[in-house]
Amino acid sequence: MRIPFGTITVTDTARNLIQEALASKRLSGGALVRRLEERFAKLTGTKEAVAVSSGTDADALALAVLYDFGARRGDEVIVPALSFVATGNAVLQAGFEPVFVDVERATLNINPALIEAAVTDRTVAVMPVHLMGKPAEMDTINAIARTHELTVVEDAAEAHGAVYKGRNIGALGDMAAFSLYVAHIITSIEGGIVTTDREDFAEVLRSLRSHGRACKCKQCVINTSDGGCRKRFQVGSDVRFVFERIGFSAKMNELEAAVGLGSLERYEEILQKRHNNLLTMIDRVRQFEPYVFTFRQEAHERIGPHALPLWVAQDAPFTRDELARYFEQVGIDTRNLFSSMPTQCAGFAYLGHKLGQFPQAEYFGTHGLHLGVHQDLSAEQIDYFIDSLGEFIAAET
């Protein structure tokens, strides 16, 4: 039996919208992108959503907004040491310095008790990551941010459908950055989107994604109609060639938006299927403690069902890599559970951190992996995964 890590659902709606976009010859960001933004904002319960070209760009642009509100290049952003490397990359791409904080073993997320000690007079933001879709401890994080007047940007790349104390992830900070990559519940194949309740942030985001130009309208009439733009020459020169800030080239196109709109059409169905798969797998993995562990869904939350994390006990008679190789041999696709960015990812070595500074993140970097819980995963495949894990542990112990 083969169990792939992920899958993608491309609906008939998506196919039809792609054909319509091709026929219209309007393929750069236009009406479909705007429709996706409106529906995503409604889904998360925010006032604004701005679509961009990737989840990494969503992180970077959300942080770059802060330059319009007093931040300076080289200021600091607090992030968890454990995340997909895009989190740290985005901080640097936005022109800030990442300040890493260790995570908690039980949640995989930034340890809120360690955040305040990392705040300096150069700190402008904290970016909690809802890793594997499990909500970070947002009440504590927001309280610290208020005390120190910091912006909170949720890295919600993997947290589609997650809920924290009755509120949707994506609506708990000042901004939130989602990935719409192919592995996620809502996908545009590539792509990302930033949600916020602040109209001024959204305006800057729309400028940033298009080189920093002065165009900030929610929907560009040039890209969505045959008419001209009344604002185009109001400043005396073509507003499309007036650049107000250092920007990015990070626009979403119409074909990607078409796939995303089709994905939204089946969102609730896919979310429920993946969530059921995740909870079933969490429950059944518990029998393999104390050799292998996973996280739990607490009463105050709903985990966004991105994937099932597993980590091997420190004193287990086998390693993570041995388990991963075994899964590969029996047809079960896995991924490592990321790494400690500052001490296990070579690109960050110049920052000078030493192995041992982030013990929990480093533990997951050597002991953790994760598996898919996608909507095409069957009960028989889950049985096969559990049986295979049990056979491996029995053979090793």
When pLDDT is averaged across residues 79-98 and rounded to a whole number, the result is 98
- Quick: pLDDT tens for 244-293: 999 999 999 999 999 999 999 999 999 999 999 999 999 999 999 999 99
Residue 39 has pLDDT above 90, yes or no: yes
User: What whole-number distance in Å separates Cα of residue 32 and Cα of residue 253?
Assistant: 8
CA dist., res. 382 & res. 86, Å (int): 30
Q: What is the pLDDT of residues 333-351, one digit of tens each?
A: 999 999 999 999 999 999 9
Separation of alpha carbons 160 and 158, rounded Å: 6
* pLDDT for position 223: 66
Cα 367 from Cα 108, distance rounded (Å): 12
- Mean pLDDT confidence for 28-56: 97
User: Would you say residue 373 has pLDDT above 70?
Assistant: yes
The domains of the chain, with CATH numbers, are 12-265 (3.40.640.10), 267-396 (3.90.1150.10)
Cβ neighbours, 10 Å, residue 226: 6
pLDDT for 326 equals 98
Distance CA 84, CA 88 (A): 8
DSSP result, 103-131: B-TTTSSB-GGGTGGG--TTEEEE--B-G
Identify any residues that bridge with 191 across adjacent strands, giving them in sequence order.
Answer: 54
Given a cut of 80, is residue 174 above it in pLDDT?
yes
Which pLDDT score is estimated for 224? 63
| Each residue's pLDDT tens digit, 205-259 | 999 999 999 877 777 655 666 666 677 777 677 777 889 999 999 999 999 999 9
248 CB neighbour count, 10 Å cutoff? 19
pLDDT confidence bin for 26, thresholds 50/70/90: confident
Q: Is residue 193 a contact partner of residue 180, using CB atoms and an 8 Å limit? A: yes
In the predicted model, what is the mean pLDDT of residues 300-311? 98
348: amino acid identity, one letter = F
Which residue type does 278 have? L
Q: Are 32 and 17 in contact (CB under 8 A)?
A: yes
Distance separating alpha carbons of residues 272 and 101, to the nearest angstrom: 33
pLDDT of 234 reads 72
- Strands 163-164 and 167-168: what pairing? antiparallel
pTM: 0.95
